[in-house]
Amino acid sequence: ELVLTQSPGALSLSPGERATLSCRASQSVNSNYLAWYQQKPGQAPRLFIYGTSGRAGGIPDRFSGSGSGTDFTLTISRLEPEDFAVYYCQQYGTSLSNTFGQGTKLEIK
């Protein structure tokens, strides 16, 4: 069974800083099938990145995704106040289960 491990569990940064979130898979993942979501309290998740690096509709270009194999990264180049939330990675679309990571909470410092 595929396991996605996100790190760090929580990240405290200030607006304007750069954020780097990690997602590590227990086995190699097809990079066409790795997504990132943002979730704010009381809201449904929102798709931000699909296929490792493709930005979903309306997502600003300060968000970028990269990676391959077992290591994937979501980078936010310059944090805005609305970016502070929980981020989840997900593997999908293969014979494996569409697994989520446990999430990284991005907090305002």
Partner 1 sequence: QVQLLQSGAEVKKPGSSVKVSCKVSGGTFNNYGISWVRQAPGQGLEWMGGIIPTFGTAKYAQKFQDRVTITADESASTAYMEIFSLGSEDTAVYYCAKSYTSGLYACDYWGQGTLVTVSS
The tokens for 98 are 């569409």
Q: Binding string, 2-31, against partner 1, x = CB under 8 A?
A: ------------------------------
| Buried residues in 23-33 as b, exposed as e (16+ CB within 10 A) | bbbeeebeeeb
What are the C-alpha distances in Å from 62 to residues 2, 24, 58, 72, 90?
29, 22, 12, 17, 20
If one asks whether residue 87 binds partner 1 (CB under 8 A), the answer comes out as no
If one asks whether residue 92 binds partner 1 (CB under 8 A), the answer comes out as yes
Figure out which of the listed residues 12, 26, 68, 97 binds partner 1, where binding follows CB under 8 A: 97
d(CA 13, CA 55): 23
| Shortest distance (Å) from residue 5 CB to partner 1 | 12
If one asks whether residue 64 binds partner 1 (CB under 8 A), the answer comes out as no
If one asks whether residue 98 binds partner 1 (CB under 8 A), the answer comes out as yes
d(CA 104, CA 75): 12
By the criterion CB under 8 A, which residues form the site for partner 1? 1, 33, 35, 37, 39, 44-47, 50, 56-57, 86, 88, 90, 92-93, 97-103
